């Protein structure tokens, strides 16, 4: 039974790559649904995280970091991020307290000026700076745009996150509970499993590989009379040299990726997992729309 005055709405998290959007989303939802990496542009699709309490439901959309595109995949990612601004009740513009204002922030602010949606400035990573440095930074941002609220947080430590959630509720309209209370994302498990595998590859491989990685789930099989889920997946790269790096000497890198990904997948599915990984080369896939569509990046959906 939904109580009277129940609040609900959609909130976009936007910002430069690597400001901590996925870390924040995972902190709020309480479990891992967005992959995290120290390399930019980890998030390629909109990830909806659903946060439900007795008096509100907040549906978060974690957008790809807005950046100057260098290929068709980059164009797609920026279009996804900008489309999110048009369809939400509130925008969280997240910035990095350590790095200060960059040209990328100014680029985003120019786009924020074109929307009527309320915008919160969320200054993340405050655990890494001296408190005296915060006020001048806030004033700098305020001089560029009129923000509805300015809230400093540490997504990693959890500082001020509850305050931010309460302020978000204050700005949301009264509305229905869109998702069941136990549901934390609208993505199918195939998508999340693929993201887990891609995250491990991002963490473990050298700089020339990460943005050339995509993951396709070939099959998820639950066999009768077995408590093990069998998952087969293919890691897509652009060059033969990248394939060699992903596989590693005597297959050690691929084995390590699989072991780490399996732990996350088992936590997600609540059962034992047998994970089989393959590596395939699709040359220059990020610049070919047919490949992008095959891998799930469908521009016509945005």
Confirm if 97 and 152 have CB atoms less than 8 A apart: yes
Write down the mean pLDDT value for the chain: 81
292, pLDDT greater than 80: no
- Whether the predicted pLDDT of 256 surpasses 90: yes
Average pLDDT over residues 174-201: 83
| Band of pLDDT at residue 298, cut at 50, 70 and 90 | very low
Out of 68-82, 126-140, 195-209, 212-226, give the one with best mean pLDDT: 126-140
Torsion sign (Cα): 249, 294, 266, 182: positive
66 belongs to an annotated ligand binding site: yes
More confident residue, 187 or 136: 136
Give the whole-angstrom CA distance, residue 62 versus residue 297. Answer: 16
| CA dist., res. 149 & res. 222, Å (int) | 48
Say whether 63 sits in a helix, a strand or coil: coil
| pLDDT category of residue 213 using cuts at 50, 70 and 90 | confident
Taking only the tens place, the pLDDT of each residue in 108-118 is 898 888 888 99
- Entry pTM: 0.62
Q: What is the mean pLDDT of residues 117-121?
A: 95
Residue 160 annotated as binding site? no
Q: Is-contact 286 72, C-beta < 8 A?
A: yes
Using only C-alpha atoms, what is the Rg of the chain?
20
Q: What is the pLDDT of residue 289?
A: 46
The larger pLDDT score, comparing residue 78 to residue 259, is at 259
70 is in an annotated binding site: no
Confidence category of residue 258, pLDDT binned at 50, 70, 90: very high
Q: 124 labelled as ligand-binding?
A: yes
17 is in an annotated binding site: yes
Annotated ligand binding at 26? The verdict is: no
Q: Please tell me whether 248 is known to bind a ligand.
A: no
Q: Sorting pLDDT into bands at 50, 70 and 90, what band is 206?
A: low
Q: How confident is the model at residue 72 (pLDDT cuts 50, 70, 90)?
A: low
Does 30 belong to an annotated binding site? no
Query: Between 26 and 66, where is the model more confident?
Result: 26
Domain spans in the chain, listed from the N-terminal domain onward: 5-169, 187-293
Q: Is 222 annotated as a binding residue?
A: no
- CATH architecture for residues 187-293: 2-Layer Sandwich (3.30)
Q: What number is the average pLDDT over the span 253-280? A: 90
User: Residue range 150-171: average pLDDT?
Assistant: 96
Q: Answer yes or no: is 45 a known binding residue.
A: no
Mean pLDDT of 158-171: 96
pLDDT, mean of residues 189-215? 78
| Residue 22 marked in a binding site | yes
> Does 131 count as an annotated binding residue?
no
Work out the pLDDT band at 9, boundaries 50, 70, 90: very high
Residue 62 in marked binding region: yes
Question: Check: CATH 1.20.120.10 for 5-169?
Answer: no
Beta strands across the sheet bearing 228-237: 214-222, 228-237, 272-281
């Amino acid at each position: 039974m939904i109580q009277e005055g129940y609040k609900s709405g959609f909130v976009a998290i936007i910002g430069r790559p690597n400001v901590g959007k996925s870390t924040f989303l995972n902190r709020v939802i309480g479990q891992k649904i967005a992959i995290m990496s120290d390399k930019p542009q980890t998030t390629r699709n909109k990830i909806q995280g659903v946060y439900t309490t007795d008096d509100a439901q907040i549906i978060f959309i974690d957008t790809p970091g807005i950046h100057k595109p260098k290929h068709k995949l980059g164009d797609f990612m920026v279009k996804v991020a900008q489309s999110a601004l048009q369809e939400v009740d509130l925008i969280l513009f997240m910035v990095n307290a350590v790095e200060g204002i960059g040209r990328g922030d100014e680029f985003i602010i120019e786009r924020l000026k074109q929307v009527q949606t309320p915008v919160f400035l969320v200054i993340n990573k405050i655990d890494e700076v001296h408190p005296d440095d915060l006020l001048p930074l806030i004033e700098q941002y305020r001089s560029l745009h009129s923000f509805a609220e300015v809230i400093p947080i540490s997504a990693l430590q959890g500082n001020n996150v509850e305050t931010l959630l309460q302020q978000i509720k204050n700005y949301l309209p009264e509305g229905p509970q869109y998702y069941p209370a136990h549901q934390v994302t609208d993505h199918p498990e195939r998508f999340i499993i693929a993201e887990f595998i891609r995250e491990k590859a991002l963490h473990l491989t050298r700089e020339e590989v990460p943005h050339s990685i995509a993951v396709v789930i070939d099959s998820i099989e639950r066999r009768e009379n077995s408590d093990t889920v069998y998952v087969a997946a293919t890691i897509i790269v652009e060059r033969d040299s990248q394939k060699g790096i992903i596989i590693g000497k005597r297959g050690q890198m691929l084995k390590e990726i699989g072991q780490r990904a399996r732990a996350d997948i088992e936590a997600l599915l609540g059962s034992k997992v047998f994970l089989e990984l393959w590596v395939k080369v699709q040359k220059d896939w990020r610049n070919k729309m047919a490949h992008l569509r095959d891998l799930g990046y469908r521009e016509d959906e945005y």
